[in-house]
Amino acid sequence: MEDLDYVGFYDKPLLKFERILETYLAFAPRGFGSFLRAMPRWLKGKMHATRELGRGLDGRYTRRFVFSTHHESHAASAFFPSPFEEAAILTLDGVGEWATASYGVGRRNKIVLTHELHFPHSVGLLYSAFTYYAGFKVNEGEYKLMGLAPYGEPTYTKKILEHIVDLKDDGSIRLDLSYFNYCTGLTMTSEKFHRLFGGPPRRAHAPLTQHDMDIAASIQKVIEEIMLRAARQRARSNGVEKPVPGRGRCAQLRRQRAHPTRGTFRERLGAAGGGGRGGALGVAQFIWHQLLDQPRRPRPTTASKARCLAPLMTSDAFVQPSSRPERCSTDSIRTNRSAITSPG
């Protein structure tokens, strides 16, 4: 441990705690039970990440801890191992600190995220809500919902777009929160959601029905349309030609027979690992290139070798080589917390 120069973590816990507190305050007095359950975990451990990391390293590491934001970690895990000198970046997630989606640009050894979509409006949480409704465990069973989709018909797509999701031309979304329970409760969906789709969530071990398969196919189609619009918007704004998927919650949403950005870009690549694994790799590369200004030498084989670091390729960020990249700052990343959340 004494030989380590830096230790990084792929979240900013205090910013995440700020979001959780503000959410409870915004919905109070609803959600008080959930608040009482969450606070002990935060006050005892999660708020003291440096202390907890130090304990995990047996107290022998005495140097600097670095906390990148969740979406910086996503972007870094996608762009830095890619074979591209410069690229547009698009991330789609459940939620990090405040951001649920972001886009920006990578050039040489720097990334800059310029726009964000904010909690509670989230593509990842939308998918997780349907994961919950289909009887699968949130944050674990999303791949099962994806696997179920080809067996159904997207008969509920129109209903989702008319009642639940306000989808903009640029791929940003506004959710009708009355259909969800994740801001204040211990479940993902509300009674209003259940009435809309004709019944309560499927019980975990109940037999799968055609209704479940059609629900899966419908949300899959909606997610594909969201991603396609977001990717096209990124292409229009930056003149990009090829995407590289990164990592995260929405990974499963794109791993199907036809990639939803097909026809928009010429090439696609996968990043090294999903979930926390990809975040850990991302913050390590963020420290090396972004903070320490170490040069980056993109090679065509870099990304394919990086894939071998994880057994399952999942993705939450696109990296798209750009013919007209925005200029990148050499300063640490600055994100715009007010971006994309307004209609249109």
Give the mean pLDDT of the chain: 80
Confidence band, pLDDT 50/70/90 cuts, at residue 261: low
pLDDT digits (tens, 9 = 90+) for 102-124: 988 899 999 999 899 999 999 99
Residue 33 in this model has a pLDDT that exceeds 90: no
**Is the Cβ–Cβ distance between 105 and 341 less than 8 Å?**
no
pLDDT digits (tens, 9 = 90+) for 159-218: 999 999 999 999 999 999 999 999 888 899 999 999 999 999 999 999 999 999 999 999
Residue 2 in this model has a pLDDT that exceeds 90: no
Residue 67 in this model has a pLDDT that exceeds 70: yes
Residue 282 in this model has a pLDDT that exceeds 50: yes
pLDDT at 244: 47
**Is the Cβ–Cβ distance between 90 and 244 less than 8 Å?**
no
pLDDT at 264: 54
Average pLDDT over residues 67-92: 89
**Which of 212-226, 227-241, 322-336 reaches the highest mean pLDDT?**
212-226
pLDDT at 133: 97
State the DSSP H helix or E strand holding residue 209, giving kind and residue range, or none if neither: none
pLDDT at 333: 29
Residue 309 in this model has a pLDDT that exceeds 80: no
Residue with more model confidence, 47 or 100: 100
First to last CA, the chain: 50
Which is it for strands 86-92 and 244-245: parallel, antiparallel or unpaired?
unpaired
**Is the Cβ–Cβ distance between 290 and 111 less than 8 Å?**
yes
Confidence band, pLDDT 50/70/90 cuts, at residue 243: low
pLDDT at 253: 40
Q: Which of 210, 121, 117, 220 is nearest to 164 (CA)?
A: 121
**Topology of 68-344 in CATH?**
Nucleotidyltransferase; domain 5 (3.30.420)
Average pLDDT over residues 144-152: 96
User: Any residues with CB less than 8 A from the CB of 9 and at least 6 apart, and which?
Assistant: 49, 53, 65, 66, 67, 68, 283
pLDDT at 241: 52
Average pLDDT over residues 44-69: 89
pLDDT at 181: 92
Average pLDDT over residues 87-109: 89
pLDDT at 103: 87
Residue 338 in this model has a pLDDT that exceeds 80: no
Query: Residue 258 has which token pair?
Result: 């036809």
Residues facing residue 309 across a β-bridge:
none
Share of the chain above pLDDT 70, in %: 76
Residue 250 in this model has a pLDDT that exceeds 50: no
**Is the Cβ–Cβ distance between 101 and 93 less than 8 Å?**
yes
What is the radius of gyration, based on Cα positions, of the chain?
A: 20
| DSSP at 229 | H
Residue 330 in this model has a pLDDT that exceeds 50: no
Query: Residue 153 has which token pair?
Result: 């018909």
Residue 296 in this model has a pLDDT that exceeds 80: yes
Average pLDDT over residues 139-151: 94
* Residue 257, helix vs strand vs coil: coil
pLDDT at 302: 61
pLDDT at 254: 39
